[in-house]
A and B are shown apart, each in its own frame.
Chain A
Amino acid sequence: MKAKKLELADFKLKSVSVEFRYDTAYLLWDKAGALWSNLKPYFPDLKNIETNPNLTSFRAGDNYQLHVELDKSHITAFHTKLNDVIEPFENFLTTVRKTLEIKSYNRLGFRAIYEKTSNSREESFNIFDSVHSLPYPQGKFFNIDGKIYNPELSYRWEDDKFGLRVLINTPEKSVRFDAPIDIDELKSIDVKKYFVTVDLDYYTKAPTTPGQIKLSEWVKQIIHFINRDSNDLIGI
Chain B
Amino acid sequence: MTETNIIQFDSYKTGTDNVTQLVAQIKDETEEKSYETAPPMDTASIYSNAGAVTSHISRALVLLEEGKVYLSNAIAASSNNDEIDSDNEVQHFYALLPELFCCRDIGDGFGAIINAIYNAITNQLDSDILTLGQLNKISQLVIRLQSEPFLEIDQAIELIIELEDTDLNIKPQHLEQITGILSGE
Which A residues are closer than 8 A to B by beta carbons? 106-107, 156, 158, 160-163, 203-214, 217-218, 220-221, 223-225
Contact = CB atoms under 8 A, between A and B. Distances in A.
Nearest to A205: B34
Interface residues of B, number: 27
Contacts of B31: 107, 156, 158, 163, 203, 205
Contacts of B175: none
A92 to B, nearest CB: 16
A235 B171 CA distance: 57
Contacts, number: 78
Contacts of B109: 211
Interface stretch (B3-11, B37-45, B72-80): B37-45
A212 B34 CA distance: 19
A225 B148 contact: no
A191 to B, nearest CB: 36
Contacts of A220: 50, 53-54
Interface in B11-57: 31, 34-35, 38-41, 43, 45-47, 49-50, 52-54, 57
Contact of A106 (B35, B106, B155): B35
The 8 closest A-B pairs by CB, nearest first: A211-B148, A206-B38, A106-B35, A206-B41, A220-B53, A205-B34, A214-B150, A208-B41
The dominant DSSP class at the A interface is: mixed
Given A156-B31, A204-B46, 13 more contacts: A163-B31, A207-B41, A208-B41, A209-B148, A211-B148, A211-B150, A211-B155, A212-B41, A212-B43, A212-B149, A220-B53, A224-B52, A225-B49
A212 B50 contact: no
A207 B35 contact: yes
A212 B149 CA distance: 6
23 contacts: A107-B35, A160-B38, A161-B45, A162-B45, A163-B31, A203-B31, A204-B41, A205-B31, A205-B38, A207-B38, A207-B41, A209-B40, A211-B155, A212-B43, A212-B46, A212-B148, A212-B150, A213-B46, A214-B150, A217-B57, A221-B49, A221-B52, A224-B53
